[in-house]
Each structure stands twice: as structure tokens, then as C-alpha cells.
Amino acid sequence: MSSPVMVAMSGGVDSSVAAALLMDAGHEVVGVTMKLWGGPSDTGCCAVSDVDDARRVADRLGIEHHVFNFGEDFERDVIEPYVADHAAGRTPNPCIECNRHLKFDRLVRRADALGFDMIATGHHARVVSTPAGPRLGRGVDAAKDQSYVLHVIEESVLARMLLPVGELTKADVRRLAMDLDLRTAQKPESQDVCFITNEHGRAAFLGQRIPLKPAAVIDRSGEQVGEVESVEMVTIGQRKGLGLAGGTDPKYVVDIDVTAEGDRRVMVGEKAGLTAPVTELESWRWVGVPVDVPLRFQCSAHGRVEPGRIEDGRRVVWDEPHRRVAAGQSVVGYDTDGVVVGGGIAGRTPL
């Protein structure tokens, strides 16, 4: 019998199949579900029904299942920074912060306390062995790859990580779940932000926590052309909800300034203004030592991977002009084999 493995079971099909595959490989498997968000959830992985689905899958597989309540940690490390970022005119990645602080820190520390050497999840990514140590690589199913949101995993954690479904396509995963008669086999995929409901939306969520403030919409010449009710709701590239007059060429948000009280501004411009030769970075961290190889960068969970280079650890210089990246978004670098070599946070790129 192999070492016992703690499997994080979200109540979805991927983590259900991950647990089953590890059992088939001879591991002693214990399933755990993190209870993170205590409020309403109808779009993500934190609903009461998800905990119940995970428990029933564990029963079907004949493994232990436990629920860990990390609600206070989630509020402090995910919700509060998410709200603060919006108040500062930034566009945060709450799923990445959840991975950073909850799944691959708080949960790992709980695994240590309980004596688990190995942990596993159902993410579509791979742990790649390299001469420099374990690295995170893209999953086999390019359309479902989740390495972008996992890039924050530390090397010491990667060394004890198992990602069984990273070698499979999503169709393979569902087929295996159906063969095993798992209740999650046809379960729809969760959305990115578990605490924002379809019923009430992001504005209602933020409005309960911070005052939402109006801002003038200006063009590149500085002339006011519209107004938004909530500058905290605006992001780079946005086209709708800007209060612009009809009958003109499409305008897009190219800059946001929330720094001046009473003079908050959203700048709009033509589509050509959405691109820039560089993306400024607030931070950048190499995985291991810096590498001098051709790089590809991804700037959103479902975005394309495009070539560029890191300059002085302060900016990405693109091979071709790239769509402006909203401040607060993660920027992840890959080598040509799809292995994560570094990651950082985008800052505000001047026009």
C-alpha cells in the first residue's frame, strides 16, 4: 500500500475522479472538503450541495470524508483583498488567492498536522520533474488547463502534489465518472467566483461592503463623454455600461483612475488603444533561478498564451503589441514546453 493521500474534493467531477484514480493506483485515500464561504452561492464550488456531493462520492468509493471549516481564513485572505482591490480600481483574481492561501497553504498545514505526506486535487495541470526540481506544467487538455490559477504553488508543495486528471481530457474524466457511476459525472462546471451569485451579482456583493462611487467617463482629449455609477465595477477593455451616446464608433475602457477624490475618471478610447507594447508589473517571482529561454505569458484564466520577455523583473515586453492587462491581474510565464517559470501581478500601464 502506498502512502496515504489527502484528496481535496470540491464536489465536482474532476476531484471525484482524482480520488478514484488514486485508489486504483493503490493509495490509501482520504477525501476532504473545505467549507470556505458561508454566504449564498449558486455559481461556484462552495454551496452546501457541493459538500453533499463530495460526501456521497466518498461513500460510493468507500473512503473517509471530512469537512474542514476555513471560513475565517477565506474571509481574511480572499474576500477582504477582493473588495479592497475593487475599491482601488484593480481587477483581482480571487481564485488564485484562494489557491495561494487556502488550498495550498492552510490545507497543506492541516495535512501536516494529520500526518499526510501527499496531497492531491482534481485540477487540470501536471507536476513535471526537471533537473531543478518539480515544476508545474500545463494539463493535457489545453481547453481546461488550470496551471494559470495554480502557479502560486510553492516548490516544496509541488514535491508532494498529485494531479491525476492532468493527464486526461475533460471528456475522459466524465467518461470515467460515468463508468464508476459517480453522481458528479454530468455535473456542470463551477464558475470562477464562488461567492458572487447569479441572482444578485458583483455590484450587490461589493455594495454591501464598500460605498460604490460614480466617476466621469472621459475621452483621450479629456472631454467628458459619459458617467458610470460605480467606478469600482469598471475594468480595462469594458465597452458597455459607460453611459456613452449612441451612434458613435465603439469605445473601450483604456485607463481607470480612482485616486483623486471627487475627480475619479474612466478613460475610453478606440479599440487600437487597448493594446500596449509592455505590461508593467507590481511584482515578479521566478520559480527557482531566472531562465534565459523564449517565454510565453498568460494574463487571465482563459486567456491566450503570447510571446514576450521579462525586463528587469519590472515589466513584460511583448513581441507584438498586447491587449492591456488590468492592474491586479496575474501574469504567468511559461517556457516553450508549457512549464511555469514565474509569475507576478500586473500594475497600471501608462497610456
- For helices 13-24 and 170-179, angle between their N-to-C axes, nearest 10 degrees: 70
pLDDT tens readout for residues 35-89: 998 766 655 566 668 899 999 999 999 999 999 999 999 999 999 999 999 999 9
Domain-embedded: residue 203: no
Do 138 and 247 have their domain in common? Answer: no
Q: What is the mean pLDDT of the chain?
A: 92
In a domain, 49, yes or no: yes
Q: Which of 45, 46, 95, 98 is catalytic?
A: 98
Asked if residue 23 and residue 137 are part of one domain, the reply reads yes
How many domains does one find in the chain? 3
| Mean pLDDT, residues 270-282 | 94
Identify whether residues 95 and 133 lie together within a single domain. yes
* CATH number of the domain enclosing 228: 2.30.30.280
If asked whether residues 163 and 86 sit together in one domain, one would say yes
Write the CATH number for 332: 2.40.30
As a whole number of angstroms, the distance between CA 326 and CA 9 comes to 32
| 299 in catalytic set | no
Q: How many residues can be counted in the chain?
A: 351
Please confirm, yes or no, whether 45 is among the known catalytic residues. no
Is position 189 within any domain? no
Considering the domain architecture, whether residues 87 and 13 belong to the same structural domain is answered as: yes
- Read off the pLDDT band of 262 (50, 70, 90): low
One domain for residues 282 and 336? yes
* Same domain, yes or no: 297 and 264: no
| 206 contacts 212 by C-beta, under 8 angstroms | yes
Query: Which cell numbers in the block locate residue 57?
Result: 462520492
- Please check whether residue 66 lies inside any domain of the structure: yes
Q: Are residues 40 and 149 in the same domain?
A: yes
* Same domain, residue pair 82 and 163: yes
Residue 279 shares a structural domain with residue 242: no
Distance between first and last Cα of the chain: 59
My answer on whether 134 and 58 are in the same domain is yes
* Spatial separation of the C-alpha atoms in residues 163 and 170, rounded to whole Å: 14
pLDDT in tens, 197-233: 878 889 999 999 999 999 999 999 999 999 999 999 9
* pLDDT interval class at 2 (50, 70, 90): low
Residues spanned by the domain of 41: 5-179
For 98-155, write each residue's pLDDT tens digit. 999 999 999 999 999 999 999 999 999 999 999 999 999 999 999 999 999 999 999 9
pTM, entire model:
0.93
CATH no. for residue 124? 3.40.50.620
Listed residues 219, 249, 269: the one ending a domain: 269
* Catalytic residue (one of 45, 95, 194, 299): 194
